[in-house]
Amino acid sequence: MQAAIEEAWKYQLLTYPNPAVGAAIVKNGRLLSIEAHKAAGKPHAEVEAAKEAYYLLTGDEKIRSIEDPLHLHNYLTTHAGELFVDATIYITLEPCFHYGKTPPCTFLIRDLRFKRVVVALPDPNPKATGGIDYLRQHGIQVDVGVCKEEARDLLEPFVKWSQGRFVLFKLAQHLNGGITGGTISSLASREFVHKIRSKIDLLAIGGATVRIDRPRLDARLVGGPAPDLLIYSKEQKFNKKIPLFSVKDRKIYIEDSLEKIMKHKFVMIEGGEGMLKATRGIVDWYLWFVAPTLSKEENYKIEKKVTFLKSVKIDKDIMIWSRNG
């Protein structure tokens, strides 16, 4: 289960509006696959894990080229035979029990006749729950609650945007806390941020940052759509030659309040000390990118407590997920 959770964190927020979910398959004490749901509309974690496990056991190259979830489901149930009858699948979230953009994973698990299913958390979505009971009714052993606290952290953004909204504050800084001096983060870190930008409903930034940094604030590094933009500023006049104003297919709001944030489900905030202070009461999570460099500039002049949830190395940087408070 820990391996499944680790894999899911790689795609945290990138599956919006779906949750980040990981799955791992074990057979006869051998770990066959560790996979995750990568984006809305793509195969769920259980399907990805079954696909990789099937390939490892059979060497069937054809399945590697199948990406459509329904086609994958049908191919696996037609060709897998009894490969999974003595296997266990570990899933960070209860397998879905409804038709959405993909078929129910519960049916795939049933059809492949897994011996055992281990689930970290029941699905909080009423439309998707029911899979645990269904599998038990079909004679499959289902254990629930393994690594539930770690899985709950992983699931938190999905729960928040499903119930209202989720607000993320992204920051890039030097090792000593400095946040100025041009580009700070590595290309890999910036690409990850652009992936998030391509998913969000709204990006918020302070007017001072716009005037000083003259950013573009799009998702060009990953070829994604640019997010709509809220510029938080008492001064409404901006030089329209600043690159962000030339980005196509986006709405730009210039407002002296943050109320626009409350009208969206998934919002990311970027900026410096001013935005940190202005948004401290509405941010759910902070995402820090810490570069292995020192800066001559001053660091934040703000007191703030956060709870670290997950940290990973991304190229030369450290990426830290943290909860507000």
- Catalytic amino acids? 46
Query: Residue 232 is encoded by which pair of tokens?
Result: 């938080």
Phi and psi dihedrals of 164, rounded to 5? 180, -80
Return d(Cα 320, Cα 65) in angstroms, integer. Answer: 34
Ranges of H-type helices in 113-213: 131-137, 148-163, 187-197, 207-213
Contact 134, 105 (CB under 8 A): no
Return d(Cα 89, Cα 108) in angstroms, integer. Answer: 12
Say which residue the tokens 């894990």 belong to: 49
DSSP 301: -
Question: Which helix (H) or strand (E) is 170 found in, with range?
Answer: strand 166-173
Contact 218, 210 (CB under 8 A): no
Strands (E), 9-105: 22-27, 30-36, 87-91
Residues 6 or more apart in contact with residue 82 via CB below 8 angstroms = 113
Contact 262, 241 (CB under 8 A): no
Contact 74, 107 (CB under 8 A): no
Residue 254: which of 203, 198, 207 has the closest Cα? 207
Q: What is the largest CA-CA distance in the chain?
A: 67
